[in-house]
Amino acid sequence: MSDQMIAIQDLTVSFGGDPVLSGVDLSIDHGTFVGLVGPNGAGKTTLLRAIKGTITPDNGTISIDGDPVTSLSAREVGRRIASVPQSTTLSFDFPVRNVVEMGRTPHISRFGSHDADDVTAVEEAMVATGVERFADRPITEVSGGERGRVLLARAIAQGTPALLLDEPTASLDVNHAVRTLELVRGFVDDGRTAVAAIHDLEMAARYCETIVLVAGGEVRAVGPPADVFDTASVRACFDAEAFVGANPATGSTAITAYPTTGTNPRRVHVVGTGRPAARAVSRLSAAGHDLSVGPVPEGDVVAGVAADADLPAVRVPPFHRPEGPHVADAVALAAAAEVVIVVGDPAESLRQVVETTTPTVRVSTGFDPADVLAAVASADEDPDAASPSVEES
């Protein structure tokens, strides 16, 4: 057994002269769940196809468990790697069970037939994916999501040390999407390897220990989700403004994307607490503004968002009033800013923070994030430009 399940060196693939992947180097260890993420057309599917040897690269080598994929027969590749395609074109009404049985093809000799091992593998794969309930229905009569699970069952029945998945959750409801990824996670926890192209960044962050960020035919970043995903990498690869934080429910990376605005970055201080202020901080941070917040109570959602985005913040211990030093620190941050945003109605004790010489915009708690962006952009130029939910002071 080689150290790496899959090793890719200097891989270049082009279709009709247009490069789709260029100079890709990637090594995938045994027992890891790797999420391939990237915008549409980044080359994720091409990378998966190159790994299983169905396209011939222009340059570079791909090794599967130590052997170059080009030196392996189709049958040998089929015993090492199973793949779950996005969809299948099967237009003949085979029963679901027969489609899953086809996963055993690389293990059966030309003149042989299914033995007890094959039957067991097929049954276990069908139970694991929950397709045994409709095992005798024709594949042409099951829904798109059920079909996706049949394809997963087929790949599991193949009994390979590695699994490639192309958008395994794309056609599934949220329940089956989670169950599918849990199943793959379990497969990896048993020591096998999975590589999945996943569009849902949060799902990828939640289930994969390694994220490979692909864009423009190149690998832009490889590492744990928390290291790979940040505002800058999402902006660079997806051309979207995003706030990258922690999902309070799962603790895994949460990515909230917004349309690109092409904002001119400014130094902004935000005063406020609770979810409305957190929304303002997320949106302004995603747009690329240089933010500070405070004072905020320790444990408030705004404090959490500030920590996620690594922003300077003045923190007050829970259930305490802001004391003199807190107010002084906040005033310093506000005075250094180009714009101060005040969300809701701050306590009287924060008057000094709200009334610095810096242009200040007051925002009601039910604001539209786009209006906050507009207010920041125009705070010191044209006071009348603010929308009805935003009041200048």
Partner 1 sequence: MDVARRAVGWSAALAALLVTVVVVSAGIGPVRIPPAEVLKVVLNALVVPAGIEAGSRDAGTLTLPTLSVVYSSPFAFPVDDVHRRIVMSVRLPRILLAAIVGFALAAAGTVMQGFFRNPMADPSIIGVSSGAAVGAVGFIVLPVSLSATVALPLIGAVDIGVSHGAGVSLFAFIGALAAAFGVYAIATRHGRTPVATLLLAGVAVQTFLGAVISYLQLQAGESLRRIVAWLMGHLSAASWSDVAVTAVLVPPLFIVLLVYARDLNVLLLGEEEAQGLGIEVERTKRILLAASALITAAGVAFAGVIGFVGLIIPHMLRLVVGPDHRILLPTAALAGGSFLVAADTLARSGGAEVPVGIVTAAVGAPFFIYLLMSREVHEL
Mask: binding to partner 1, 250-269, rule CB under 8 A, as x and -? --------------------
Give, as one character, the DSSP assignment of residue 138.
Answer: B
206 binds partner 1 (CB under 8 A): no
Three-state SS at 312: coil
Residue 232 binds partner 1 (CB under 8 A): no
Of the two residues 107 and 266, which places its CB atom closer to partner 1 in the complex? 107
Distance CA 220, CA 194 (A): 20
Count Cβ atoms below 10 Å from residue 117 Cβ, excluding itself.
Answer: 11
The reply to whether 158 sits near partner 1 by the rule CB under 8 A is: yes
Instruction: Using DSSP, state whether 209 is helix, strand or coil.
Output: coil
Q: How far is the CB of 86 from partner 1 (least distance, A)?
A: 11
Q: Does 196 bind partner 1 (CB under 8 A)?
A: no
385 binds partner 1 (CB under 8 A): no
CA dihedral 159, 163, 165, 169 (to 10 degrees): 70
Please select the residue that binds partner 1; options are 2, 61, 73, 247, rule is CB under 8 A.
73
Q: Which one of the spans 31-39, 101-109, 176-184, 384-392 is the region binding partner 1 (CB under 8 A)?
A: 101-109
Cβ–Cβ under 8 Å, residues 333 and 294: yes
The answer to whether 85 contacts partner 1 (rule: CB under 8 A) is yes
Contact pick of 35, 38, 57, 103 for partner 1 (by CB under 8 A): 103
Give the C-alpha separation, 85 to 102, whole Å: 14
Total Cβ atoms within 10 A of residue 149: 26
Based on the shown chain and the rule CB under 8 A, indicate whether residue 78 belongs to the binding site for partner 1: yes
Q: Please, which residue, 10 or 115, has the CB nearer to partner 1? A: 115
Element holding 117 (H helix, E strand): helix 116-129
Nearer to partner 1, 75 or 320 (CB): 75
Choose the binding region for partner 1 from 111-119, 204-212, 338-346, 372-380 (rule: CB under 8 A).
Answer: 111-119
Among 38, 106, 148, 276, binds partner 1 (CB under 8 A): 106
3-state secondary structure of 363: strand
Q: What is the CB neighbour count within 10 angstroms for residue 298?
A: 13
Q: Which one of the spans 25-33, 84-92, 176-184, 371-379 is the region binding partner 1 (CB under 8 A)?
A: 84-92
Per the document, the length of the chain is: 393
Alpha-carbon distance of 379 to 363, in angstroms, equals 12
Name the amino acid, one letter, at 264.
N
String of contacts with partner 1 for each residue 31-70, x by CB under 8 A: ------------------x--xxx----------------
Token pair of 92 as six digits: 């003949």
What's the token pair of residue 369?
């994030």
Q: Which residue of 30, 79, 137, 220 would you call a contact of partner 1, by CB under 8 A?
A: 79
Q: Which is nearer to partner 1, 69 or 215 (CB)?
A: 69
H helices present in 231-300, as ranges: 231-238, 274-286
Q: Is 82 in the site for partner 1 (CB under 8 A)?
A: yes
Stretch that binds partner 1, among 103-111, 128-136, 196-204, 284-292 (CB under 8 A): 103-111
Shortest distance in whole angstroms from residue 146 CB to partner 1: 16
Nearer to partner 1 (CB atom), residue 164 or residue 390 = 164
73: tokens are 């027969």
Q: Which stretch binds partner 1 (CB under 8 A): 57-65, 78-86, 128-136, 229-237?
A: 78-86
Applying CB under 8 A, does 192 fall inside the site for partner 1? no
Exposure letters 164-175 (e unless 16+ CB within 10 A, then b) = bbbbbbbbbeee
115-154 residues near partner 1, rule: CB under 8 A = 140
Q: Does 105 bind partner 1 (CB under 8 A)?
A: yes
| 260: nearest Cα among 288, 279, 233 | 288
CA distances from 14 to 20, 24, 41, 101 (A): 5, 12, 13, 34
Q: Yes or no: say if 10 and 33 are a contact pair by the CB < 8 Å rule.
A: no
DSSP secondary structure code for residue 99 in this structure: H
Instruction: Count the residues of the shown chain that bind partner 1, applying the rule CB under 8 A.
Output: 36
Among positions 77, 255, 311, 337, the unique one binding partner 1 when judged by CB under 8 A: 77
The footprint of partner 1 (CB under 8 A) covers 49, 52-54, 73-79, 81-83, 85, 88-95, 98-99, 102-103, 105-106, 108, 110-111, 113-114, 140, 158
